[in-house]
Amino acid sequence: MIEEMRMQGLGVIADAVLPLGAGFTAITGETGAGKTMVVTGLGLLLGQRADSGAVRAGSAQASVAGVWVVPQNGPVADIVADAGGELEPAGDGLGELYVSRTLSAEGRSRASVGGRAAPAGVLSSLAEELVVVHGQSEQLRLRSAAAQRDALDRFGGAPIAEALDAYAESYARWRELEAQIADITQNRERRQDEAARLREDLALIEATAPEPGEDRELAARAERLANAEELRLAATVAHEALSNEEGAPDVSALLAEARRALERASDPTLTELAETIADIGYRVSDAAVQLSAFLADLDESGPHELAAVEERRAALNVLVRAHGSLDEALELWKTGSARLAELDDDDDRLGRLEEERDRVRSVLDERAAILTARRSDAAARLGAAVTEELHALAMPDARLEVSVTQGAESSHGRDDVAILLAPHPGAEPRPVGKGASGGELSRVMLAIEVVIAGTDPVPTFVFDEVDAGIGGAAAIEVGRRLAKLAETSQVIAVTHLAQVAAFATNHLTVVKSNDGAVTASSVRRLDGAEREAEMARLLSGLADSDAALTHARELLSLRD
């Protein structure tokens, strides 16, 4: 649950702290005071798209920060850890998660999760685990077939989830096999051409038999052979300077003489220098040996070798031009045989794929039937449970049905799910998106959430004017149901009805002030007389009306 939220520079709210916590929190306030900014702020924390228009006029940026209390082990902790963040220990296996989001007036957005900067997508991932938000847009979403199917699947719990996972696995494999079969049958000519080209390429590579790096080695060898005389002269002069076999003074002889002279002295410093000169002498001797080998190699080479090298380079260049580089030709040699075998095996492979496709299709049909059966069973139970809730929500004659019929095949199954509502006796059940008013749709949505919470609890629910379009007894029952939902989940509701706010265990009000030039809002927790006055204002528009205060106290007594 979210323990606390702070907003700064967001719309009309300059700086406000919302103490939330467990139970049912109602948020009220005058029109234009900024109640919707609370939902906007929560949306920013949940990774929703940032709109620079929400930044308070005159402010450089808006910021929202929240403290969530979450299990130290589980999906939320894993998401935080993957983002590089940390939870602060809070005892009893729980941790505090600090989340923040800033939005500049230019539209730039930054987020922080567990003390580390993170993309907004991480906030969205957390939102899926932490919160369900219901506003007017969510009521409209309930009209979609996908949302209605998701609601049924949530209610069905593990049995539907297991059946759906099994079906989705078979469906994915069936689609994969169909794609492979289509590739072979529809592109047979192209694949035959590819096999022919590949066979020629592999034959040429095999005939050439290149070695890794051979082209670079031959290039260096050709360069040496082309400059053989110049290289021979340089190596000969250097070799004679280092080690002259004809007796003339050379570096080796001079170093040996210097070393012996120093060794005859008794000075430690000169002895150390003698060792240094001896080491230089060894290196000179080694260099002389290498020069001898170099000259011997040149002597053995000749114009005939240069011609052979150039011929070999020409053969390798054929491969380089065909494949881009010798390394790529060698890579094709490694992998091409397997690809050629696959292409040559098309006819037999097609038979094997079709056989497997038919086998997978049979399993897919079985799993689809199981999924449909489990959805149908859950649909009957969901319809009955929601109907009972609607009766308690001042819709005593309403009947809700959940229809599961055969539909188009997809990764979600073969079922079309429709939520149907008959608002009064004798009425034919109609799709909830067509047969329900705004107020009825609000109550249907709330009833569904109350029922689903029993099998698929959500840590936090946020309702933005779920009471729109209703009043009187219906509003009181909405308040009761929100309080019931708050027994297992945290509930935050923005409301304009005292009948709903009366059932809250935590009442916050957004207060608007105006200094003549700037409008600003703050948030205050209400208790006692202050709460009664706010309830009276909601009822009559007058915070000090005796009749309204009496009615407010009567509503507050309903919670007990």
What is the C-alpha to C-alpha distance for residues 337 and 54, in angstroms, rounded to an integer?
61
pLDDT of residue 496: 87
Share of the chain above pLDDT 70, in %: 90
Side chain identity at 121, as an amino acid letter? G
Contacts 24+ apart (CB under 8 A), 377-385: 377/156, 378/152, 378/155, 378/156, 378/159, 378/160, 378/402, 379/152, 379/403, 379/404, 379/417, 381/155, 382/151, 382/152, 382/155, 382/448, 382/451, 385/451
Q: Average the pLDDT over 273-287 and give the result.
A: 83
pLDDT of residue 174: 96
Q: Pick from 18, 30, 338: which is nearest to 195 by CA? A: 338
Residue 516: pLDDT band with limits 50, 70, 90: very low
Which range, of 84-88, 141-145, 254-258, 423-427, averages the lowest pLDDT?
Answer: 141-145
Q: Is the pLDDT of residue 298 over 70?
A: no
Helix (H) or strand (E) holding 421: strand 413-422
Q: Is the pLDDT of residue 175 over 90?
A: yes
CATH of domain 1-133+465-526: 3.40.50.300
Question: Could you count the other beta carbons within 10 Å of the beta carbon of residue 396?
Answer: 10
Which range, of 41-55, 186-200, 286-300, 468-482, averages the lowest pLDDT?
Answer: 286-300
pLDDT of residue 320: 86
Higher-confidence position of 416 and 55: 416
pLDDT of residue 226: 63
Residue 384: pLDDT band with limits 50, 70, 90: very high
Q: Is the pLDDT of residue 394 over 50?
A: yes
Inter-CA distances, 513 with 26, 37, 434, 519, 526, Å: 21, 16, 42, 6, 17
pTM, entire model: 0.63
Contacts 24+ apart (CB under 8 A), 119-123: 120/47, 120/50, 121/47, 122/47, 122/79, 122/83, 123/45, 123/46, 123/47, 123/99
- Max mean pLDDT among 31-45, 151-165, 424-438 falls in 151-165
The pLDDT tens digits for 206-243 are 888 888 988 888 887 777 666 666 666 676 677 777 77
The ranges assigned to domains in the chain are: 1-133+465-526, 527-560
Q: Average the pLDDT over 532-547 and give the result.
A: 84
Q: Is the pLDDT of residue 371 over 60?
A: yes
Q: Is the pLDDT of residue 139 over 60?
A: no
pLDDT of residue 282: 86
The pLDDT tens digits for 413-461 are 999 999 998 888 878 888 887 766 767 777 888 888 888 877 777 888 8
pLDDT of residue 507: 93
CB 111 within 8 A of CB 120: yes
pLDDT of residue 321: 87
Judged by DSSP in three states, 425 sits in: coil
What is the C-alpha to C-alpha distance for residues 478 and 500, in angstroms, rounded to an integer?
6
Which range, of 42-46, 62-66, 264-268, 435-439, averages the lowest pLDDT?
Answer: 435-439
Q: Average the pLDDT over 319-345 and give the result.
A: 84
Residue 396: pLDDT band with limits 50, 70, 90: confident
Q: What is the mean pLDDT of the chain?
A: 84
pLDDT of residue 435: 63
Which range, of 18-32, 148-162, 356-370, 402-416, averages the lowest pLDDT?
Answer: 18-32
Share of the chain above pLDDT 90, in %: 20
Give strand pairing partners of 420. Answer: 401, 431
Q: Is the pLDDT of residue 159 over 60?
A: yes
Q: Average the pLDDT over 102-129 and give the result.
A: 87
pLDDT of residue 386: 92
Higher-confidence position of 309 and 491: 491
What is the C-alpha to C-alpha distance for residues 352 and 490, in angstroms, rounded to an integer?
55
